[in-house]
Each structure stands twice: as structure tokens, then as C-alpha cells.
Structure 1
Amino acid sequence: MVNTQSKNIIITGGARGIGRVIARHLLSQPLGHRVFLVDLNAEELEYVVTKHLAAYAPRVGSVVANLRNPRAIREAVAKAAEFFDDRIDVLVNNAGIARAFFTAGNGTMEDEATAEQWQEYLDVNLSAPFWMSQAVIPFMKAQNPKIEGKGELKQDGVDRTTDLKRTAEFANLPLDLHGKDRIDEGGCIVHITSFRAHVSDPDCEGYGSTKAGLLGLTQSMAVSCQRWGIRVNAISPGWVHVVHECREGDEAAASTQGAPHEEEAKKVRLETWKDGLKELYHRQHLVGRVGLGEDVAEAVEYVMGAGFLSGQEITLDGGASKRKNPDV
């Protein structure tokens, strides 16, 4: 179902790249969505809020946070909740280590020098989405009148030590959490994973395994979060070309094309985003092109409004993973 209500949305890794495009796309919709960006890069975050998204300033908040730190995550979510008047509708767990390959030592898992990078992948790509989700749940529960309380799970005396004994809890789960008119899609958590959860290149153990782990987290969370009326889904992009989605890219477009940051800059981006990409890269995709950040943003918008969608993965790779030999 198409979104029909204004949403309060947290986006991690929102200062540049895919996260920035998601924020810009959602803010540009007529519903008046509000967005709160969480990012580690203070300089880029300040730029995107005060310059790139300046036209939406009253509806944009932000905080600098290290997502490897659970306490910093809770503090960031608390600031977002304050910005949103204690109601969070959507969490987009987009932040992650974009580098697909080990670079420490000789760049292979054989080298013990990769141990630190392995842990970094785990912390940022897998643990951080769990910690972010954990922190937003109380503020997503609060919006649903059928869910009691906004803190800990109600202690109802149900023994949860085995699957068999959990049937008592299952039998008492509230129905029609999103309303019989389907207008309220309920709380929504979106994990941005990667098609590399399914296919790989050499030396991608850190990246690929944490992205695959995020799919497992999506399924588990979707079942657990049912009790709070929260849907959980994953979007797995393939090759999405967003190196120009940053301050440096904006300034380059402005200087070479005479375009300001928006709306003229948007036109320039759409005309020049393929610059530097070989024709082969586009031919590797069944749709004949590499992905755009807007492709992911539109998928996020769909998932936000799809009230019957939970526990699912949307693979958004232009069909690249379906071709037997991607170099042909």
C-alpha cells in the first residue's frame, strides 16, 4: 500500500551515499516526512543538513554517533526521539562498512592482521543494526494503542523457555495491529544488506558474512517484533553507484556545470552519474545499467507502506546475480 501518512524516520549512515539519497527522496515526498540522520562523519553530516537538505531544514535533525558503541547508539536514539516528540515510525539501518574486501596485511583471511577488520565488520554491519533496533522499539510501540506500555515487554507470566510453551503467548497476540482500514502501516525497521550475502568474491569474508547475518537478524526480529506491531524487512542492493553523493560531488557539479546544490544539481546528477563507468559494468545487469541511489530509496519507500510485508528480503541488483557469467 502506498504511504498515506507522514512518518518520523531515522536513517543511519545518512550523511552521504545511499543514506543521503534515501533521506533526500523521502523528504521530497508531499506527505511531509521528518528525517533524523545518524552518522560518524561530523563534517559531512553538517554539510548535508545545512546545505544539501537545507530546503527541508525544519524537518531534518541529526547527531554524530559512533555505531560501534551501544551507549552512543542509545544516546543518539534518545535525541532522535526528542526531535520526533517521542514517536519513531521507521528505522533504516543503512550504515555499514562499504569496503567489501579485507585490506589489512596481505588482504586474505590467512593473515592474522585481518582480525581487527573482521571485528569492525561485525560491530558496524551486524551489531549496530541490532543495537539501533533495540533502542527504537520503545518509541515505535508507543504509537500503537493496542500495545500496552512503551518500555519492557509486559510480564504476563508466560513461560518462554521452550517453543512449545510459547504457544500461550502466540495465542494472545493482538490482531489487526495496523487497523482494518490498513491506513496505519505500523512501525517499520528496514535493514540495508547486500547481494553479497548470496554471492562473493575472494577475501570478502568480513563483508559478506555480516551482510548474510543481517538477513538472519531480519527474519528473527520480524517474528519477535510481531508482538509490538513492528514489521522488519531487508533490502539487498547490488552495485549502486553513489560515489558522487557527497559534498565533494556536489561542489564538483556546481563548479563544472554552474549548478547549485538543488534542483539544478539534481538534473546534473542524473545526466552525469554514469561518467567514468565502463559499458561492461552496465551490461552485467539484466536491466542494462548499474543501480542508482534512487532505486534503493524508492524500495525503502515501498517497504515503509507495505503493511503486509514482514520478514522478507528484497534483492535490488538489476538482475546481476541471476547471470551465470557476469563478465559476458
Structure 2
Amino acid sequence: MSFTDQVVVVTGAAQGIGRSVAEAYAVAGAKVVLADYQEAEGAAAAASIRNEGGEAIFVQCDVRKEEEITNLINTTLEEYDQINILINNAGVARWKSPYELTVDEWDDVLNTNVRSTFLASREAAKHMKNNEHGGAIINMASTRASMSEPETEAYAASKGAIVALTHAMAVSLGKDHIRVNCISPGWIETGNVDELKKADHEQHLAGRVGIPSDISRACLYLSDPSNTFVTGTNLIIDGGMTRKMIYED
């Protein structure tokens, strides 16, 4: 897939899945805008892309703040004069008992994960609709939108909301040729996958734990300009883990 002359914004791009996604688009020829609140790590990620021959800039952005999201989109337009693809990847998790989770902690998770996704999509779509071929938005949800571990209430709620927001915006923005999809990753190891136990891998039908490039390839597919019939969907990428029945011995 070629994304030459496409401008891609990736939030939460300083490390992990976000950085992998940004790097994949750069390799495919896109101009990439990396956004993250971690200034040093984000700038280093953008510099790494440029050192490999790609085109990238970094914009510091705290997605909990509307004005910083607006600045991110405006900076992208000032630099590249268009925006074709938005990857809403920024997010935060907080594992805490529902008996102890505070309102401020709840709001922080929901604002970081859900409100930012809406705001960034809204601001980017205002400009995507002026493109000849519209644009593509990909939101990062999670398999935890439909299954849970203990003490994940805020995170699970936020990811469920992202799935719902995705199909709602796909309906609203479809008339402007803007496709909106989401990805629900399962276990994606952003550290050293070789340090995991054999049993960790065997929980998956695929025989292994996921890695960031599994998600990057999905982003390229969902945002490919030729895939105009794919919108409003939630693509689950979990190595089949959520389809495997597990019994205790």
C-alpha cells in the first residue's frame, strides 16, 4: 500500500503502538504528524523517522485539553495544508477497585480516551470533508469493550464508548466521504516479547502474543484510500484469544 502525499496524524505516538503506527505510515510514504504529551520521547520518535528517510514532525499535545487538540490540527494544516488520516491512539488505563476509584480518576480516563477521540475527530473532519476523496479516522478501542478483568471499570467503559462513538460518527460523516473505523487490540506486547512465558502465547489461537506491527498493518488496511466500502466497523485483533474457551484444570 502506498500513502504518498497523504498526511497522517497519530496521537499517543511517542512509544508503543502509536509509534509503530507512525513509523509504518512513514515507510509507506506518508507525511506523519506525531502527537504526544511526552515531549522528549515524541520528538525522538519523529527524529528517528526522519533519520530513516521519512517525513515527520512532532507536536506536543495533551489530548485532555480541547485547545491543544485544536492546535494539533492547526499545526498540521500549517505544515502540510491538509489532513487525510487521523489515528486516535492516545489513551490511559487505571486499574483500581471500584470502591476506591475517585470521580477525578474516572473523569481523567474518560476524558483522555473518549472525549479526546471525539474532539480530534471533530476537528480533523472539518478539514477532511474538503478533500477530494474525504478522509479516514481510526479509533483505538480494546477487547476490554466486551470482556473484563477486575478493577478495570473506567478503562472498559471508555473503550466501549469508543466502539459506539465510532459507528455513530461513521453514520454522521459518511455523507462527507469520511470513513470511521476502530480497532480493538487484545494482548499487544510493547516490551520484550521474548520474555513472556510459553503459556502466555498458548492462550491465543494464533500461538503467540500480539506485537505493535499487527496493529500498524490493520491501520494501513482500514485507511487505504481504495477501501471505501469499509466503515463503521470494529476490527478485533487479538490472535483469537476472545474466541477460545479456557477451563481450569
TM-score by length of 2: 0.94
User: Are 2:217 and 1:229 equivalent residues in the alignment?
Assistant: no
* Mapped contact 1:283–1:289 kept (Cα < 8 A): yes
State the alpha-carbon separation in 1 of the partners of residues 90 and 248 from structure 2: 29
State the alpha-carbon separation in 2 of the partners of residues 47 and 61 from structure 1: 10
Give the length in aligned residue pairs.
247
Question: Which of 302, 308, 313 is the aligned partner of 2:229?
Answer: 308
Counterpart position of 2:117? 129
State the alpha-carbon separation in 2 of the partners of residues 228 and 279 from structure 1: 47
* Mapped contact 1:37–1:63 kept (Cα < 8 A): yes
Instruction: Give the partner amino acid of 1:276.
Output: E
Question: Which of 82, 85, 91 is the aligned partner of 1:90?
Answer: 85
State the alpha-carbon separation in 1 of the partners of residues 94 and 233 from structure 2: 23
Counterpart position of 2:9? 10
Higher relative contact order (CA 8 A, sep 6+): 1
Change in Cα spacing, 1:326 to 1:240, as seen in structure 2 (3 Å) is farther
Question: Which of 92, 95, 100 is the aligned partner of 1:101?
Answer: 95
State the alpha-carbon separation in 1 of the partners of residues 176 and 247 from structure 2: 42
TM-score by length of 1: 0.72
User: Are 2:12 and 1:24 equivalent residues in the alignment?
Assistant: no
Unaligned runs of 5+ in 1: 103-107, 145-177, 179-185, 244-272
Counterpart position of 2:34? 37
**Residues 219-262 of structure 1: CA distance to partner in whole angstroms, max 9, x if unpaired?**
1000000121100000100000113xxxxxxxxxxxxxxxxxxx
Q: 4+ residue runs of structure 1 moved beyond 3 angstroms?
A: 2-6
Shift of 1:59: 1.3
* Mapped contact 1:320–1:326 kept (Cα < 8 A): no
Q: Percent identity?
A: 32
Counterpart position of 1:288? 207
User: Are 2:99 and 1:110 equivalent residues in the alignment?
Assistant: yes
How do 1:1-328 and structure 2 match up within 5 A?
2-3=1-2, 6-29=5-28, 32-50=29-47, 52-56=48-52, 59-85=55-81, 87-97=82-92, 99=93, 101-102=95-96, 108-111=97-100, 113-144=101-132, 186-243=134-191, 273-305=192-224, 306-325=227-246
Shift of 1:138: 2.1
Unaligned runs of 5+ in 2: none
Shift of 1:27: 1.1
* Mapped contact 1:66–1:73 kept (Cα < 8 A): yes
Which moved further from structure 2: 76-85 or 292-301?
76-85
* Mapped contact 1:49–1:57 kept (Cα < 8 A): no
Change in Cα spacing, 1:314 to 1:225, as seen in structure 2 (3 Å) is same
Output the aligned Cα RMSD: 1.7
State the alpha-carbon separation in 2 of the partners of residues 291 and 20 from structure 1: 15
